[in-house]
Amino acid sequence: FQTWWFSNQGQIGEYDTAIASIAKRADEVYFLKEGNFEADKNTKDEALLDMTAQVLAQEHSQPQLIVLHLMGSHPQACDRTQGKYETFVQSKETSCYLYTMTQTDDLLRKLYDQLRNSGSSFSLVYFSDHGLAFKERGKDVQYLAHDDKYQQNFQVPFMVISSDDKAHRVIKARRSANDFLGFFSQWTGIKAKEINIKYPFISEKKAGPIYITNFQLQKVDYNHLGTDIFDPKP
C-alpha cells in the first residue's frame, strides 16, 4: 500500500504526540493544525476532502490506504460547529454536539461520492475511538466530555461501505477495539505474526467477554459498567 494520513487533530501534546508519531510513518502526511488539537479551532474536517480529491485524481500503480483523522464531535462541540446548531436540545453545547453528527454525516457522504466518482474499487471504514459522557447534567451548561464509568463511553459507530456492496447489513454482535488489528488484517489482507485473528470481525459470531481499559489502565468487564442513556425529552 501507498499510505496517506490527513489530520484535523493535533501534532504535539499530551493526547496528540503518540498518534502523530504513528501518522508520520505514512508515505504522505498533512496536518491542518500545527500544535495540539486545540491550537486552531477554525480548521474544519471538511478541508480534508480537498486532499482526498487530489489523491483520487491521480493514477496509482499500487493500492492506496488513506487515513482521515477527524475532530468530529470532540469537545467542546460548539468549537466544531462555530456555535451553530439546528435544534436546541437541553443546552447549547448538547445542541452543537448533535449538529456535529450532521456535519460528519455530510462529510462521509461527500467522501463516498469522491470514491465512487473515481471509478476505482474502494472500501471505506468509519469509526470513533471513544464515546462521551454528560457533565452538569440537567443544567443550562450541560456538556459532554471523556469518561470511563459508563458503557456509553465505549459505544462507538463502526461501519464499512465498499464499492461492491450488494446489501445493507446491521451486525448486532458486540465488538471491541482491542480486536481492531484483527479487523484491519481481514479488511486489508495485511498479515503479521503479531496480529492474532480470533474470529471473523464482520459477522454475527460472538467474540466472548468484552473488556475495556479504564483511565487507570485497568481491565474492566464492559457489563460491569453503568449506563448514561441520553433522553432528548427528559
Residues of the chain with pLDDT below 70 are: 37, 234
User: How confident is the model over 134-162, as pLDDT tens digits?
Assistant: 999 989 999 999 999 999 999 999 999 99
Cell numbers given for 178: 482491542
First to last CA, the chain: 49
DSSP E strand stretches across 128-199: 133-135, 143-145, 158-162
Q: The cell 501518522 sits on which residue?
A: 23
Q: Does the CA dihedral 52-56-57-59 come out positive or negative?
A: positive
Contacting residues for 196 by C-beta, under 8 A, at least 6 apart = 182
230: three-class secondary structure by DSSP:
coil
Instruction: Output the pTM of the full model.
Output: 0.91
Domains in the chain with CATH codes: 2-171 (3.40.720.10)
**Cα separation of 163 and 108, whole Å?**
14
Give how far Cα 201 sits from Cα of 91, 180, 185, 211, Å: 38, 9, 10, 16
User: How confident is the model over 47-82, as pLDDT tens digits?
Assistant: 999 999 999 999 999 999 999 999 999 999 999 999
